[in-house]
Amino acid sequence: MLDKQGRNIDYIRISVTDRCNLRCRYCMPEEGVQQVPHDEILTFDEILHLARIFAMAGISHIKITGGEPLVRKNVTALIKDLKKIPGIETVTMTTNGLLLEENLPALADAGVDGINISLDTLKRERYNELTGTDGLGQVLSAIDACGNFPQIKIKINAVTLADFNRDEILALALVAAMKEIDVRFIEMMPVGLGRYMKGYSQDEIFARLTDALGTPEPLPKGTGPAEYFRFPGFRGRIGFISAVTHKFCGSCNRVRLSSQGFLKTCLHYEDGTDLRSLIRSSMPDKEILSIIESTIKNKPAGHDFGTEETAGHEKKIMAQIGG
């Protein structure tokens, strides 16, 4: 459906949990997130119920996220059921990759269309320092295992951090040279703990890559926020998702559903609609649909990251808002 700005909103990120098995420094506090009572988290039946209504509102693409989605038991069964909803064209997932390899056969069987794997460093000690876990080997092994499932589109998402992984920009990009995998550099956003961190801008990363690899061919933009390039000889693409320095709000096509059923139309603001109370009140679907449509219609025109005015700005971390 079109929002007030004329943008076609056809994509939702659905968080299935706020919890995570990693503690990435820019995302998750060391003590983790505050435990939410079990009955405040949407059940799979409730997620499916809402997804059917979202499909009626014109949503055709779903990304399963978290927290870490693979820590929630049976998430593959949820994906299988989401894939059966009329109007839903793709169901994808974003994961830190720690539990991915053992789940790959079930994910393939569920019909998952794509998997984004978050990976910010290829150095074991650094990975430990960044995430609090000695898990790099597991993630790299999962990426290799993805080669057995060519029907699943794999992307690697890397966040850069100032004075931390600048020297790995080239090595991370080179993963896309060797494999048919897209590597995307995500700019650090001032959301959650990211408010206290600094990363490298798209232009800085682009300059580093062109110095080493030559001039890439710009590729047509898809429906998502990424800008893509193909470097000479590369099998996969290099992408940039740069919410701060290459603001893409004018073409933003997405909304988010938190694990507690809160519909958010922009990452940057606290506003949204509590859908959990609506489905638990047995409100007819037609009425819920109309509330969802009016929430989406009023999606803010854009974020204002970088302004001094912070009233109404989201303080929660990415894992709590379907990052």
Site string for ligand SAM, 129-168 (x = CB under 6 A): ----------------------------x-x---------
CA distances from 108 to 11, 148, 151 (A): 21, 10, 8
| Length of the chain as a residue count | 323
Closest distance between ligand SF4 and the C-beta of residue 204, in Å?
21
Closest distance between ligand SAM and the C-beta of residue 186, in Å?
5
Return the closest-CA partner of residue 61 out of 255, 247, 243: 255
User: Of the candidates 14, 16, 28, 292, which one interacts with ligand SF4 according to CB under 6 A?
Assistant: 28
64 forms part of the interface with ligand SF4 (CB under 6 A):
no
292 forms part of the interface with ligand SAM (CB under 6 A):
no
- Which one, 27 or 252, has the nearer CB to ligand SF4? 27
Among ligand SF4, ligand SAM, none, the one that 121 touches (CB under a kind-dependent 5 to 8 A) is none
For the range 31-38, what are the long-range contacts, defined as Cβ-Cβ under 8 Å and sequence gap of 24 or more?
Answer: 33/67, 33/317, 33/319, 33/320, 36/259, 36/260
42 forms part of the interface with ligand SAM (CB under 6 A):
no
Site string for ligand SF4, 292-321 (x = CB under 6 A): --------------------------xx--
Return the closest-CA partner of residue 117 out of 75, 172, 168: 172
Alpha-carbon span 141 to 78, nearest angstrom: 25
User: Of the candidates 12, 14, 16, 24, which one interacts with ligand SF4 according to CB under 6 A?
Assistant: 24
CA distances from 130 to 204, 280, 308 (A): 22, 39, 29
Closest distance between ligand SF4 and the C-beta of residue 191, in Å?
11
User: Of the candidates 3, 25, 47, 192, which one interacts with ligand SAM according to CB under 6 A?
Assistant: 192
Helix ranges (DSSP H) in the chain? 44-56, 75-83, 100-110, 124-131, 136-146, 169-178, 202-213, 275-280, 285-297
Among ligand SAM, ligand SF4, none, the one that 28 touches (CB under a kind-dependent 5 to 8 A) is ligand SF4
Which amino acid would we find at residue 33? V
186 forms part of the interface with ligand SAM (CB under 6 A):
yes
Residues of the shown chain interacting with ligand SF4 in the complex, contacts defined by CB under 6 A: 20, 22-24, 27-28, 66-68, 96, 118, 318-319
